[in-house]
Amino acid sequence: MEITNERLEYLQLLAQKYPSIQAASTEIIDLSAKLQLPKGTEHFVSDIHGEYEAFAHVLKNGSGSIKRRIDELFVYDMDEKEKRTLATLIYYPEKKLAHVLPQTDNPEAWYRITLFRLIRLCRNLASKYTRADVRAALPDDFTNIIEELLHEQEGSDNKHEYYRSIINTIIATGQAGAFIVALAELIQRLAIARLHVIGDIYDRGPGAHIIMDMLMAYHELDIQWGNHDIVWMGAAAGSAACMANVIRAALRYANMETLEHGYALSMLPLATFAMDVYGDDPCELFQPKISGDEQFTQNEIQLMAKMHKAITIIQLKLEAQIIQRRPHFEMQDRLLLDKIDFAAGTVAVNGRVYPLLDTHFPTIDPDTPYELTPAEANTVARLQQSFAISEKLQQHIRFLFSRGSMYLVYNGNLLYHGCIAMEEDGSFMSARVAGQEFAGKAFMDRLDRLARQGYFSTEPAEKRYGQDVMWYLWSGAKSPIFGKNKMATFERYFIADESTHKEEKNAYFAWRDKEETAVKILREFGLDPATAHIINGHVPVQVRKGESPIKAGGKLLVIDGGLAKAYHKITGIAGYTLIFNSYGLLLASHDPFESQQLAIEEGIDMQTQTEILESNRIRIRVKDTDEGRAIQQRINNLKDLLSAYRTGLIKEG
């Protein structure tokens, strides 16, 4: 056996884990068997935007996967009402039990039937996993019992009474409720092998922090950063401009829940500053957009309006400072405060003069318009300190870095949130940085690295540059996760002419309908266009206007259908999700989620329509996936170790 010293060192390390021929052989047998199992079900979601209740339901029901499995397994055994009851019991076991049991004449009989049904469903789902994988998913309190029941031999008369006795004893000892909860949670876990979140967890809805807690507890997932995620990441990293954007967006939509209660970020410095400076200003342009669900006093609304104006002016100054120190960002058109004629109450934009809707700017010095006043600088520093010491925020952002990226290639699919930035002619848009040109995949890779640098670097200049790049990703013309030529913040607030408000989408969004565009992008990322797909989010699919989420001849799938309530009127539905199982690809469209209470009390599920995009005649196995290729490499390494044992290169432990 020819072997290099480097390879021998690796095999010696491997031998510490598999110290004998028998240990290595056993692992090869186990891994080889795993390759033949059906691939696990992948679940794709996008643009959650803080809608934690709807997201939690989609997560619990696997975009309808669990209900579909119930329908298939109990097609002749249960009526529709019983199926709905079983489904919602799995989604919300504790609350459903509390609702069902008081209405049940014979709780013991109900427990017995329900437990047998849950075990049967659980056994069906567990068939796609190895025993070791299932064992790892089992709750500690009931591991041995559930393992026994999952491997019941239904046709075996010898053990029929044994299994019945286990169920009866569970009920007799008062553990049936706890056992149902354990089985329900196990079913949820086994139904989905891996979750893909295609960006935009934050903003709009009130519960981004709750969603992040759910994701941190999820068994297997990845995240592709969205523009609304990256601005929070930049804020947590220390970027004052990103922080100002986060606070401004929260105040604009009267959505302070995540800031104040989720992350305990003190807005007192901003409130105090705003009252001092804008106390007599009605701030009419800065009245928060309040949804029908929220109730605020007039004083609260006025305070939010003043804070909103204060942070907007601060934001415009902070952004200008980045633009001035990073000329290669090519964002000089966003420098507008120095274009104001304070005496005339006008501003010049692209050579044309417009009247200002608001001319009260007590903190802007016409000679140095982009310099923070001492009071503004003090407010920013105190807010930054609050973001820096928020333990939960920093924990969540570190998780976004550890599980997230600009894009992901997984099981033959390319996942990204926004776009691959393109020129009008359909070529990849390039950016020149430090004498190098970056475009397509190379540009995405560089931006990914720089974002991490902005959070983790200990070198001040590197860290600051990385933070500036995170702000650029939020609003820059070439940002792949923003995808527009500008963010018209100033114009939308201060100019009435709506033609100045328009933000032109990147050419990608015109080209992405064409199959040749998808082919080019897939090849850029090393994928086979004949079998691969692009999974995209970011821009809501306007179903109401007849737009389809299926583009480029089926090679590009847009799954932002508007999970957030703010987009329901635009899209006409409440979101798309995607399921990729061993049989193929299924696109699920969802109607708005009514409420958890209705789901529990009346069995009203989120209505989901499923469309089969691709169906495989031959079931996809683990061997056909990225995981399978990694397993095969482990098998090859173990075979080399076996050979080393048998030829005497390495001796058994």
180-202 residue pLDDT tens: 999 999 999 999 999 999 999 99
Token output for 568? 């329901």
351: left (phi over 0), alpha (psi -120 to 50) or beta: left
Do 454 and 470 contact (CB within 8 A), yes or no? yes
Residues 240 and 388 in one domain: yes
Predicted confidence at residue 150, as pLDDT, reads 85
Q: What gap in Å lies between CA 628 and CA 412, rounded to an integer?
A: 12
**Length of the chain counted residue by residue:** 653
Backbone angles phi, psi at 183, to 5 degrees: -65, -40
Interior angle at CA 116, CA 114 and CA 118, nearest 5: 65
In DSSP notation, 324-382 reads: HH-GGG--GGG--GGGEETTTTEEEETTEEEE-S----TT-BTTBTTSPPHHHHHHHHH
Q: Which residues pair with 348 in a beta bridge?
A: 353
- Tokens found for residue 327: 């000329």
525 belongs to a structural domain? no
| 3 to 6, 82, 641, 643: CA distances (angstroms) | 8, 63, 11, 11
Please calculate the CA angle 443-447-450 and round it to the nearest 5 degrees.
140
Please tell me the least confidently modeled range out of 22-31, 151-160, 427-436: 151-160
User: Which secondary-structure segment (H or E) carries 205?
Assistant: none
Report if residue 380 sits inside a domain.
yes
Do 310 and 363 fall within a single domain? yes
Query: Bridge-partner residues for 615, per DSSP?
Result: 584
Of the two residues 552 and 368, the one the predictor is more confident about is: 368
| 28, 71: one domain | no
Cβ distance 65 to 191 under 8 Å? yes
Separation CA 105–CA 91 (nearest Å): 23
What would the pLDDT profile of 546-597 be if each residue is shown by its tens digit?
678 889 898 999 887 556 665 556 554 566 788 898 888 888 776 666 666 7
Asked, for residue 397, whether it belongs to a domain, the answer is yes
Q: What count of other Cβ atoms lies within 10 Å of the Cβ of residue 502?
A: 11
Helix residue spans in 406-439 (DSSP H): none
Dig out the tokens for 192 from the structure: 């989905």
Dig out the tokens for 202 from the structure.
């934050």
Domain tally, the chain: 3
**504: nearest Cα among 492, 493, 488, 481:** 488
Alpha helices in 432-476 (DSSP H): 440-456, 460-475
* Residues 251, 393 share a domain: yes
Q: By C-alpha distance, which of 416, 43, 488 is closest to 230?
A: 416
Domain assignment present for 426: yes
Task: Kindly state whether residues 295 and 352 are assigned to the same domain.
Answer: yes
Q: What is the pLDDT of residues 473-526, one digit of tens each?
A: 999 999 999 999 999 999 999 999 999 999 999 999 999 999 999 999 999 999
What is d(CA 269, CA 375) in angstroms, rounded to the nearest whole number?
A: 10
Q: pLDDT > 90: what percent of the chain?
A: 71
At residue 567, the pLDDT reads 56
Interval 51-60 mean pLDDT: 88
Percent of the chain exceeding pLDDT 70 equals 92
Residue 653 clears pLDDT 90, i.e. is over it: no
pLDDT in tens, 239-276: 999 999 999 999 999 999 999 999 999 999 999 999 99
Write the pLDDT tens digit of every residue in 596-629.
Answer: 676 676 666 655 666 777 777 788 999 999 999 9
Mean pLDDT score of the chain: 90
Q: What are phi and psi of 443, to 5 degrees?
A: -65, -45
**C-alpha of 422 from chain center:** 24
CA–CA distance, 355 with 340 (Å, rounded to integer): 10
Q: Which of 147, 163, 191 is the last residue of a domain?
A: 191
Buried b (16+ CB within 10 A) or exposed e, 4-33: eeeeeeebeebbeebeeeebbbebbeebee
- 229 has a pLDDT exceeding 70: yes
Looking at the structure, tell me whether residues 129 and 263 fall in a common domain.
Answer: no
> Beta-carbon neighbour count of residue 448 at 10 Å?
16
Amino acid identity at 263: Y
Please give, one letter per residue, the 3-state secondary structure of 637-650: HHHHHHHHHHHCCC
What is the residue whose two structure tokens read 């996809």? 620
According to the model, what pLDDT value does residue 550 have? 86
Judge whether residue 153 has pLDDT over 70.
no
CB-hemisphere CA count at 13 Å for 218?
24
Taking only the tens place, the pLDDT of each residue in 297-348 is 999 999 999 999 999 999 999 999 999 999 999 999 999 999 999 999 999 9
Establish if 221 belongs to a structural domain: no
Mean pLDDT of 142-147: 88
pLDDT digits (tens, 9 = 90+) for 340-360: 999 999 999 999 999 999 999
Of the chain, the end-to-end C-alpha distance in Å amounts to: 20
The predicted model scores a pTM of 0.91
Q: Where would I find the H helices in 192-297? A: 208-217, 227-237, 240-252, 268-278
Q: How many CB atoms lie within 10 A of CB 151?
A: 11
CA-CA distance, 279 to 263, in Å (whole number)?
27
Pairing of strands 42-45, 576-581: antiparallel
Residue pair 564/49 in contact (Cβ under 8 Å)? The answer is yes
Q: Among 143, 167, 191, which residue terminates a domain? A: 191
Which tokens go with 543? Answer: 């179903």
Domain interval for residue 351: 227-405+422-448+482-494
In whole angstroms, what is the distance from residue 266 CA to residue 395 CA? 18
Q: Is residue 258 part of a domain?
A: yes
Which one has a higher pLDDT value, 279 or 591? 279
Q: Is the pLDDT of residue 410 over 80?
A: yes
Average pLDDT over residues 272-282: 95
Give which of 306, 314, 327 is closest to 243, Cα–Cα: 314
Q: What does the pLDDT read at residue 204?
A: 85
The three-state secondary structure class of 169 is helix
Tell whether 71 and 174 lie within a shared domain: yes
Q: Is residue 500 part of a domain?
A: no
* Cα–Cα distance, 45 to 56 (Å, whole number): 11
Q: Which of 60-69, 214-223, 475-484, 521-530 has the lowest mean pLDDT?
A: 60-69
Tell me the pLDDT tens digit for each residue of 429-447.
998 876 788 999 999 999 9
Residues 392 and 248 in one domain: yes
DSSP string, 537-592: -SS---GGGT--SEEGGGTEEE--S--SGGGHHHHSSS-EEEEEETTEEEEEEEPP
Q: Are residues 490 and 387 in the same domain?
A: yes
pLDDT of residue 18: 96
Among 494, 526, 554, the domain-final residue is 494
How far are the Cα atoms of 63, 67, 109, 251, 555 from residue 603, in angstroms, in the given order?
16, 12, 21, 36, 36
The reply to whether 236 and 376 lie within a common domain is: yes
What values do phi and psi take at 337, rounded to 5? -65, -35
Q: Please report whether residue 379 resides in a domain.
A: yes
Pair (386, 305) in one structural domain: yes
Task: Based on the fold, state whether residues 352 and 247 are members of the same structural domain.
Answer: yes
The greatest distance separating any two alpha carbons of the chain, rounded to the nearest whole angstrom, comes to: 95
Ranking 30-44, 52-66, 67-81, 147-161 by mean pLDDT, the lowest is 147-161
